[in-house]
Amino acid sequence: MEQRKKILETWIDLYGHRLVRLAYTYVQDSATAEDRVQDAFIKVYGQFNKFKDGSDPFPWLARIVINECKMAYRSNWREIVSSMLPEKEVVSSEDEFLSMEADEMLYALILKLPEPYRIAIVLYYFEELSVQKIAAILGKREGTIKSRLSRGRHRLRKFWKERDTYETAIQNC
């Protein structure tokens, strides 16, 4: 029992932030994302015996978080979400600010993607998971994940070009 607590504490330290970011892609509210991850860790504690020792725990934890988010979404489908999860604390240097602003714009564009593309892109680029691990987490084939990544990147390029066109038009006014 004590061993289980220590392992769980280690997982919270190692994967907590990543799992909150993953949950945020579903719920798009930082407090709700943290709640879903907490619920997931409670579930993990109760189902600890289902974890296969020696394997990477992140895919298993991610699957539980995704299920918690989907379950919460089904029960709270009328809730309107509008806030954005900050990537990191603002640093006073101008370069860091401009870089963070570009990252936030990109993340906002990612959040506009339909769910299948958004989740694949977040897991691949932000969590740096392989196509194989993403396929295992989502219960899809690797080819499906590759297609979602490709289509998601295509849509992101389109959104980015539209944003640039809009900004150029405003500057010319």
Predicted confidence at residue 38, as pLDDT, reads: 92
Q: At what angle do helices 142-171 and 94-112 cross, to 10 degrees?
A: 120
Predicted confidence at residue 94, as pLDDT, reads: 60
Predicted confidence at residue 76, as pLDDT, reads: 55
Predicted confidence pLDDT, tens digits, the chain (173 residues): 688 888 889 999 999 999 999 999 888 888 889 999 999 998 988 888 788 777 888 999 999 999 888 887 665 554 444 344 445 454 445 656 556 666 777 788 888 889 999 999 989 988 889 999 999 989 999 999 999 999 999 998 888 888 767 566 566 65
Predicted confidence at residue 78, as pLDDT, reads: 45
Domains of the chain: 1-83 (1.10.1740.10), 93-173 (1.10.10.10)
Predicted confidence at residue 79, as pLDDT, reads: 44
CA angle 70, 122, 148 (to 5 degrees): 85
**What is the SS3 string spanning 78-137?**
CCCCCCCCCCCCCCCCHHHHHHHHHHHHHHHHHHHCCHHHHHHHHHHHHCCCCHHHHHHH
Alpha-carbon distances of 28 from 34, 102, 126, 128, rounded to whole Å: 11, 19, 16, 20
Alpha-carbon distances of 83 from 5, 28, 29, 31, 57, rounded to whole Å: 33, 7, 6, 10, 30
Specify the pTM.
0.55
